[in-house]
Structure formats: C-alpha cells, structure tokens
Amino acid sequence: MSNPLKLGLAGCGSVSQRGVLPNLVQEDTKQWAVLTAVMDPIPGRAKATAEKFGVPLWFEDYDQMLAADIDAVTIASPIGVHYEQAMKAIAVGKHVHLNKTMTTTKAEADEVIEAARKMGVVVVASPGNCRTAPFKRIQEIISSGEIGRLYWAETGTAGGGHEFETFRAGDDVLSNVNPAWYYRRPGGGPMYDMCVYALHNITGILGPARRVTGFSGIGLKERSFKGEVIPVEMDDNTHLVLDFGDDVYCLVYGSNSFSGPARAFASCFFSGSSGAILYDRTGLQVWGRDIPDGHREEHPVGAMPFVTGPHLELPERHVYSDIMHMVDCVLNGKEPVVSAEHARHVIEIIELGYKAAETGQTQTLTTTFEMHFW
Ligand SMILES: NC(=O)c1ccc[n+]([C@@H]2O[C@H](COP(=O)([O-])OP(=O)(O)OC[C@H]3O[C@@H](n4cnc5c(N)ncnc54)[C@H](O)[C@@H]3O)[C@@H](O)[C@H]2O)c1
C-alpha cells in the first residue's frame, strides 16, 4: 500500500467534474491521497479529464484501470454498474468508496460486504451526511423527551430531473453527459439517487426500520435531453410508509416532481405528543408546549471530516469527505463510520418498498446497522 494512497476514479460525469475532481486535486489532499487514474467509457472523456485535472493515467476500460498501480477506487459511475465494479475492485484487493447507492439490491450489498471482509479491504458507501451535528442534535432532542412521545415523521426528496442540471448544458465531451440512465433499470429513479439521503437521515436518527409499505409509479412517461427522447422505464413517483416499531411511523416520498421551497431537499419533520421538530438545510425549528414562547431555532455546526480550507467552498464536499474517510480508514486501520451496513439497510428499504408497492403486501426488513455520529 502506498502512502499517500493512489486513487483511481471510475466515471467522469457530473459529480466527478463538478465536485470530486476539484476537491481531490487540492494541495492539502495530497498528503493523504493522490489521484493517479481516471476512467470513463465515453471516447475522449477520461483523456480530457486527465488533461484538465493533471491526472497521470487515463483509461476507457475499467479492468485496465484496476490493473494499474492504484490502491483504491472511488466509483462515480451510473448506479446500475456499482455492484459489478465494486466486486471487481475488491477481488483484486483494492479499497473502495462508492457513491450512493452502493448497489441496487440487498443480495448484492451482502456480497460486497462479505467479499470485502474476506479480502480485508475497506468499503465506504456514501452518503455520510447523516452523521453530522444537526442529525445528532435531533436524536438528542427526541431522546430527551422534549417533544414528548414520538408519533410520526416525514421525509423525502421531490425535485431533480438530471436533464436540468446546468452542468450538462455544454456540447464538449466533459459536459455533454447524457443522464438517460437516471430513468432506466437497474439503478434509475429518485429513490436510489435522491431519496437515499432522506432514508439515511431518518434511519440514522431513529435506527433501523422494521417494515415498509407503499405505492410507486411513473409520472411523466417520457423526458428529453438535447432533443433526444428518454423513455422513463423506472418508477419516478414513490411513496412509502416505514414502521420503526413501538407505533412510530414515517412517511417517505421520492419523486421527480417539483416541490420548490415547500419541501427542502431531504428535510425531515418529527411530530411528538407535546412538540415537533423540523429540519431543513437552514437548521432546526423546535416547537413544544414546554418550550419558552413555544418555539426556538437551533443551528448546530460541525463540518464533515476533511472538509476544511478550500473544500468548504467546493461543490459535493460531502462526497469528498466520504472518499477521504475511506482513505483515512485504510491508512490508519480504522473501521468505517460511513458504513456499507447502513447503505445496505437503506437499499433494502428501497428494494422492499418497490416490492410492497408491486404486491400490495407490507414487507419485513431484515437488515440492521450501527450508528455513530461524527
Ligand atoms: N449528479 C449529482 O448531483 C450527484 C451528486 C452526488 C452523487 N452522485 C452520484 O454519482 C454517481 C454518478 O452520477 P452523475 O450524476 O455524475 O452521473 P453522470 O451521468 O453525470 O455521469 C456518469 C459518468 O459515468 C460514465 N460511465 C458510464 N458507464 C460507465 C462504466 N461502466 N464505468 C465507468 N463510467 C461509466 C458516463 O460516461 C458518465 O461520464 C451516481 O452514483 C450518483 O448517484 C451524483
């Protein structure tokens, strides 16, 4: 193993161009990790990426990148290929960071976790945002009994549609990145892509869910990107109810509809017998019968690990934090906090949520995970 770690990046699309690459090439990062190779199958994209960001090696074939002198990969390819790429990397002893979601089924997640254990490699599975101060504080408030006995919660994501990302508007090989996979199987749909954040947040606070039921379907049957029609094959309008046990429930939505500011991205609301909490990206609102004036605002602070200096201003710094967490675990022999087990639980919720919608039968969840805040 090299120190600093030699990293390979698979997938040079939106998240990589806007966030991962600008973060990884900062000077402070080089004491821990050096981006050594980039890979993308679209002709010219990896080469152009390597030239733009000063990366020594570029590939259009994933297996060739794995054969290069790298210690770890960060996977930023379409979600449907994450499982295969993680398994291949683990098989040749590379440590792995995966963008969300790690896989699309629990069975695949089981295989990734088991293979990594056997090979003794680190797997970190984004997103790790739910380990930050606001979520820790929500858990403290609920546990303290300040809002009484918890009854229900609501969370989700509405919005998006990656064809509208301004990043994709250009016509050069680096920015003309077709988002059609976001509407295909496997791996498309707002549950794997966006609602995954909300599900990590809510399970991070309340612990593993016990059961799931819901409805799911497709809103617009067709979308378009630069004049090309994209048939929507994957559900893009999913509404679930989670049972956390002890008669505590959570409504969850994952939709490619418009919400405007009415529902902030992955915001969450908790309703107790004598109070309530709302989290959006601006902070916490807490209401309660026993709170002076009935209401207060809180703004818990605490950056994610490695997000300091120039990274505080760069896009997708939470992904950078997760990648560097993988690096930290490898270099310093730590157990991942942003764990594959938590990712597996969320993946099982999504998979069984779809199954519940299809069959009309409530599904029982089997997976669990340990939660640690930063
Ligand atoms: N777009 C975002 O805002 C965002 C933010 C955070 C995380 N993510 C996650 O990052 C990952 C990539 O999303 P994106 O929006 O950047 O996608 P994208 O469509 O913009 O880019 C994907 C890139 O992967 C390439 N690719 C296709 N098949 C590949 C393969 N087999 N191996 C390697 N590369 C391949 C494509 O050519 C393209 O350049 C997903 O897991 C997504 O959930 C996206």
370 located within any domain: no
Atom of ligand 1 nearest to the CA of 168: 20
Radius of gyration for the chain, computed over Cα atoms and rounded to the nearest angstrom: 20
The ligand 1 site (C-beta within 6 Å) comprises: 10-16, 39-42, 45, 62, 76-79, 81, 99-100, 162, 177, 179, 193, 316, 319
Q: Whose CA is nearest to atom 38 of ligand 1?
A: 13
DSSP 2: -
Instruction: Note whether 324 and 33 are within 8 A (CB).
Output: yes
160 has pLDDT over 90? no
pLDDT digits (tens, 9 = 90+) for 281-297: 889 999 999 899 999 99
Which residue blocks in the chain are alpha helix, DSSP H? 14-15, 21-24, 45-53, 62-67, 82-91, 106-119, 133-144, 190, 196-206, 317-332, 340-359
CATH at residue 85: 3.40.50.720
Averaged pLDDT of the chain: 97
Q: How far is the CA of 11 from the centre of ligand 1 (A)?
A: 6
* Domain around 58: 5-128+310-337
pLDDT digits (tens, 9 = 90+) for 73-96: 999 999 999 999 999 999 999 999
Are residues 173 and 205 part of one domain?
yes
Q: How confident is the model at residue 165, as a pLDDT?
A: 94
225 located within any domain: yes
Are residues 158 and 40 part of one domain?
no
Are residues 213 and 67 part of one domain?
no
pLDDT digits (tens, 9 = 90+) for 19-58: 999 999 999 999 999 999 999 999 999 999 999 999 999 9
Q: Which helix (H) or strand (E) holds 276?
A: strand 275-280
| Helices vs. strands in the chain: H and E counts, helices first | 11, 17
CATH at residue 145: 3.30.360.10
pLDDT digits (tens, 9 = 90+) for 251-283: 999 999 999 889 999 999 999 999 999 999 889
pLDDT digits (tens, 9 = 90+) for 116-141: 999 999 999 999 999 999 999 999 99
Are residues 320 and 219 part of one domain?
no
Q: How confident is the model at residue 18, as a pLDDT?
A: 98
Q: Quote the tokens at residue 84.
A: 């295969």
Lowest average pLDDT, out of 76-80, 220-224, 290-294, 306-310, goes to 290-294
Alpha carbon 190 to chain centroid distance? Answer: 11
Are residues 96 and 62 part of one domain?
yes
